[in-house]
Each structure stands twice: as C-alpha cells, then as structure tokens.
Chains A and B, each alone.
Chain A
C-alpha cells in the first residue's frame, strides 16, 4: 500500500531536488516517445542535452543558448517578484511586444543619424513601454479591483494587433517595396544591439538578465521590499499588520515585471530579431512563466531554468534537423518536462509512505 502523507512543512531539500527529478523523468519518458517514433532514444537525448553544450558545434550553440535564455530569464525574474506576492502578471508577452515597439520606434525615429545616445534612449523607451503596458492592469486592479490575470492576458492580444499595425504602417520600412516589417535595426549601427564579443552570443540583453538575477536576489534577501513581497505571498493578513501597502506592491510588482519584459523585447528587436514584424513575438512572455516556476521563483533557480529551457529549444531544433524528429515530438517533450515538474511537486509537500494504512 502506497500512500501520501502530508509533511509538517514543505521540504526544502526535496524542493530543490524535484526539478532535477523532473528532468530525469522527462528524459526517460522522452526516450520512450522517440523510440516509438523509430529514432535511437540515446542519440536523441544526446542531441538535445549534450551536443549543444559539448558537441561538435557547441562553439555556436553555447552562444545561442544565451541568446535564447536571455529574454526568458529577464522576463521570468520580473514575473517571479509578483508571483511570490500573489500578483499574477500573465501578460508579459504583451509588455514584451510594446517594449520592443517603443524601443524600436525611438531608434527608427533617429534613422539614419549616428548619435551615441540613441541606443541608451531605446533601452529607456523599451522599459517605459513595458511599464506603461503593465500599468493598465495595475491601475485597473488598484482602482477597480479587476482581475490582473485576465486584464494582462487579454492585453497581449491588443499588443499583437498594435504590432501588426506598426509593421504595416508607422514603422514599415519605406524602402521595403510595400512589404510589412520595419528597417533592420541590426544594419543600423547606432541602434543595433550586437554581440558584445563576437561569437559568444552575449548581447546587452544577456548582460541585463544577469544583472536582473543579482538585483532580484539582493532585493528578496536583503531589502525590506523583498521581505514584504515574500510576506504578502505567504500570509496576506500578516503582511497587512506588518505595514505592507498592498496597492503599492501591486504597482511595483506589475511595473517591475512589465519593465523587464519591455527591456527583453527591446534587446530582442534590436538584436537577434532585428526588426519589428508582424510575427516578431514567439512566446517568450508565456514561456517565461514556465521558467519562473521551473526555477522555483528563486533568482538563481530561474537562471538555471532559463538555460535549461533554452537547451530544450536549441537541442530540440538540432534533433529535428539532424535526426528528422518531427517538431510536434519536440513540443511534446517540452510539455513532458512541465508535466513532470508539476507531478513531482507533490513530493515537496507530501512524503511517500509504503506500508499498511493504520486502522482509523
């Protein structure tokens, strides 16, 4: 007889071990899936997890890992602050888009001028765009008590429409022969977010993500505001007695996550993506929610989770191209990771007891 017994308090050790366990379980289940598809499961797992880090072309993939992980980490760090306090910003994707539009808009407005301050100004505009977009759910929540989950999520679709409109209208490349999409910022030196060291994949967005990890760590562990965030999440009533001003906290958490998402959008549009186009956003804002939870809402955890998530993307793509695995199998594989993470989460709060249940 196997049964679950509630732990007196969640186990910290198990809490740190479960993500590792989830990854291992994913590898096992994924192997079964790949074997059913007629591929060598060991080769597939090696292609996904080993080759991008240590394989033949790792010199390229390692940089790409950072390119992919950078925006995920940056957004997830912002989200984790709110999630810890029970403030659910689900619309980072929208803030990411608006940040990119505002930042790119500022850069394009200066085209083709060459001033040193253009890129810094774009960074500010990107952050401001994200913050402003996040202020909509924040103000609606603090003034009218609306649900920030719904408002922030629905604003993603509004942002996507604005993105399409910008690609076709205001920001469209005047030399683009009528095709949608802005000028390529990578080809506009003053506005480009190029690699800082060629070949490493490190651009300003990756640097910003690392800074965000450190700042979030300090904030949560050494600062009164961080204490208030954690307290509000764990016990809202106690937080009220401790002098937390809940409205201010809502504004701060949504503002911080929106600002970081906006920054991520700006760094992406000026760097890897290069241009505002109709399908500029590829879901970083949503994937970052997964990254935040995979990292246990802890800054260092998020850093690792972001890199792991990036690895499944990059390795997954490699497995597609080299082994001919269908894209859907890779998506299922990523889905398994989340499924197992949630499934083994139960072990944090419960322990498994094997033996006869005692008579009631």
Chain B
C-alpha cells in the first residue's frame, strides 16, 4: 500500500488523508506557521498569543499546533503540507513570504482552510488573506515622535521594502512632519524580520547619527535595549507592547491583536460558514491597538495622540488624507482626498519630503 501511494503520487495520497479526516470526530485542529521564534517578543509572539486565545476560548473543541522559525520558501511548503497531512483543518501562515507556498499547498488540500497574513494572493477558494492597518498606529507614533524629538532626527529600522513597511514609513513621516516641519527621517533597511544583532546595530547607528527617536518595523526588542543603553532616546513597541521597556525608552506601541480574528475564523470553520475573504482591519475593530502612552510623553501630546487614535478608530480621520505629493513632487492626493485601499496595498513610493530611495 505504501509503495502504491508513493507511485500513485501525492494527489491520491493526499486525497486519502483528507477522506480519513472528514470521518473523524476529533477536535478541530488549527495550525500556525511562524516566521520567528514564539519568544521574539514581537510579531510571532503576538500571533502565538492569538493561538493561545483560540485554545482558551474553545477549550477541548479545538486543538492547536504550531511550527516556529519556518524559513520562507520551499521549507514553508513542506511545513504546511505536513500540518495538512496530520489533520489540520485550518492553518494560519503568518508571514508575507509564505504567500506562494500557502497557495500551492492549498491547491493540494481543498478541504483544509488556509489563512495567509499580509499577502494578496487567493488562488483557491480555500485561501483567505488578512492583515492589519498598522499604518494607523504609525500615524499616532509619527505624531508623538514629531512632538518629542529635540534633534529633529528620527531613525527608522525597516525590514523589507514591501508595501506594508513603506506605508508605515510614510504614515509616520507625514504625521511627524505635520507637527514638526524640521523633522528628518533616516531609514535603515536590515532585510530581516528578526535578527536582534542586526537590529541593535541599526539602532546604534541611527542613534550615533543623532536620532533621538527610533521607530522599528522589525520584531525583536533589541532596538529598545539599544535605546535604553544610549539614554534620552525614545522608541515604540512593535507588534507587541514591549512594556518591559516602559516608561522609557518605550513611550507607546502598536499591538497586533489577532485573537478576535483567529477566534472568529475558527468559529466559522466549526459552523461551516467559512469563506475566502480579504480582511484588512485596523484600530476600529481592535486588530491594531495603541499601547499605553507612558508618562515620559507630555500630557498634551498624549491627549492629542489618543484623540487621533480615536478619530481613526471612529472612521473620522484617515492617515493618508490629501494634500499629499509623492517624493518626486508629483501630486498624489488632492486636498481632502483619501487614499484608496488598492494604492495603499501596493504602495511602493515615498511621500514628498522623505529622503533616500525605496531600494530596488
């Protein structure tokens, strides 16, 4: 039998696996593929918190499995296939680089539901995509940063030049510039999501160049530690609250709160109402949360920042509201015009005033 499976190919074999699954009355199995270690204190940590919330919410009705440190590419495809073979009914793949592997494996396991974070490809009916409007939090950070900086130099540790990251840089810059016309951004691209050594190097380089605010779009707490060691530098928690560095250097944070989404989607699989969707939620649904603004921030700035977050959450204010020009000076949004989601989703340009180039 084994030999026949081998020769008959994956399609047949995988089909058998699926059939075996349908007849079982075991708890729903929900899998998670993580790009970093669950102890990264940031991105993967928060996804894992979401997983734990699913376990707590459903109790014995749901079993979760996860695999951490999965490289993006061929290895991800294997990790996914492995989970599907072992009976996972719903799998969350939590990094952009899992986009093609997720779709490839989804094609082979039509009965398994796949949810890919931060991507845009839904090639099969059993693939959904979801992401959070982190840029809403970035706008709030930019406001605080612009108000707080004394050197007028703000450092930004960027991971990969993908739209999500570029959007964050633009959102932060626009709102820093609005309250402080002299502000300058220096962006360092580290080409990694999680590498404490590289992140610390980048933070130190930015601080040496005179930055007294360091924003990060990477997942470790290394930049926080570097800022703490330097003193008089403020930072923001990324993906997770990173509250252990409050009140200084961490003055606030963007918290990715995946738990409600994970619980809702798991429930939909249980109910049989799950369908392929593209979700992009922000402060309004609580997927993006602004971490407690510490006492290191003056009360008036704190009040303004909280008001901005509330306005974004209520849908009264959009961080990308014109007039805005692109970096080369060409007009992008007219007075009062709001950026459409399509442009934001594929954003590959800086707004006017930012120096340097998007790497390409």
A: which residues have CB within 8 A of B?
57-60, 62-64, 67, 164-165, 168-169, 172, 177-180, 184, 186, 197-200, 268, 271-275, 277-280, 282, 314, 317-318, 320-322, 324, 326-328
Contact = CB atoms under 8 A, between A and B. Distances in A.
A235 B242 CA distance: 59
Contact of A199 (B10, B37, B74, B162): B10
B67 A317 contact: yes
Contacts of B81: 60
A325 to B, nearest CB: 10
A273 B75 CA distance: 8
B352 to A, nearest CB: 19
Given A326-B68, A327-B69, A57 B348 contact: no
Interface stretch (B1-9, B200-208, B230-238): B1-9
Contacts of B85: 57, 60
A212 B162 CA distance: 39
Contact of A321 (B6, B37, B79): B79
B345 interface: yes
A178 B346 contact: yes
B345 A177 contact: yes
Given A164-B359, A180-B160, A198-B10, A278 B67 contact: no
A165 B189 CA distance: 12
B328 to A, nearest CB: 16
A200 B86 contact: no
A327 B73 contact: no
Nearest to A274: B100
Contact of B13 (A60, A165, A279): A60
Contacts of B82: 57, 60, 317-318, 321
Interface residues of B, number: 49
B347 interface: yes
Contact of A179 (B6, B11, B163): B163
Contact of A58 (B2, B65, B161): B2
B346 A177 contact: yes
Contact of A322 (B71, B78, B86, B100): B86
Contact of B73 (A180, A200, A280): A280
23 contacts: A57-B82, A57-B86, A59-B5, A59-B13, A60-B14, A168-B359, A169-B360, A172-B360, A177-B120, A177-B345, A178-B348, A180-B160, A200-B6, A272-B73, A272-B74, A274-B104, A277-B73, A279-B191, A280-B73, A317-B75, A321-B82, A326-B38, A327-B67
A139 B211 CA distance: 44
B163 A272 contact: no
Contact of A168 (B2, B6, B74, B360): B360
B332 interface: no
B130 interface: no
Given A60-B10, A278-B191, A314 B78 contact: yes
B96 interface: yes
B290 interface: no
A321 B31 contact: yes
A324 B161 contact: no
A321 B348 contact: no
B72 interface: yes
Interface in B50-83: 65-75, 77-79, 81-83
B6 A199 contact: yes
Given A169-B360, A326-B68, A179 B79 contact: no
